[in-house]
């Protein structure tokens, strides 16, 4: 992964704390990581945590200015060799599947070159995961060939329910990203 440029999208769910360790693991493998957080994600983990771990500024505001003459969401999209959304909430999955670009992360994903793969590591309640609407959106996205789902695992969820919806283990996510880049 030496020199690989990973755009890590972090959305608002309790599993957001796991993305901190993910960024560290990627950097340990020699990758460069830039983080885009949704507003909800910043309620679970602070941007400062990711800045300290990655050595890069964290972006979360669609109206944030980039360097002079730079359009931030386009620059981030062009920079990435791969995008990873971990955790991916049902909300961001729905936005991506419908082409909605109303925050920085969804706008960056829409602007990614067609050759840039997007890995999605969902994390949500078991009933949300089983919802036929979500499953239809995931099938649609994977059918496009650009989007790759790293299935959640079964286990005890933050809400106390037990079932599929727990974000995949970090090592599983790292290995999935490596496979997509191979």
Question: Which positions are annotated as active-site residues?
Answer: 159
d(CA 58, CA 33): 10
d(CA 111, CA 101): 9
How far, in Å, are 43, 60, 78, 143 from residue 12 at the CA level? 7, 12, 24, 26
Inter-residue contact 58 to 50 (CB < 8 Å) = yes
d(CA 57, CA 131): 36
């Amino acid at each position: 992964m030496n020199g690989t440029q990973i755009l890590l999208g972090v959305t608002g769910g309790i599993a957001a704390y796991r993305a901190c360790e993910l960024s560290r693991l990627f950097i340990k493998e020699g990758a460069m990581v830039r983080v885009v957080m949704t507003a909800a994600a910043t309620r679970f983990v602070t941007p400062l945590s990711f800045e300290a771990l990655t050595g890069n500024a964290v972006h979360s505001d669609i109206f944030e200015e980039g360097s002079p003459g730079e359009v931030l969401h386009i620059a981030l999209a062009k920079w990435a060799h791969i995008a990873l959304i971990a955790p991916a909430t049902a909300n961001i999955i729905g936005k991506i599947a419908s082409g909605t670009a109303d925050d920085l992360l969804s706008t960056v994903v829409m602007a990614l070159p067609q050759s840039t793969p997007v890995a999605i590591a969902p994390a949500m309640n078991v009933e949300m995961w089983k919802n036929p609407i979500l499953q239809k959106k995931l099938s649609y996205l994977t059918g496009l060939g650009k989007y790759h789902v790293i299935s959640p695992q079964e286990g005890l969820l933050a809400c106390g329910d037990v079932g599929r919806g727990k974000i995949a283990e970090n090592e599983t996510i790292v290995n999935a990203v490596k496979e997509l880049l191979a």
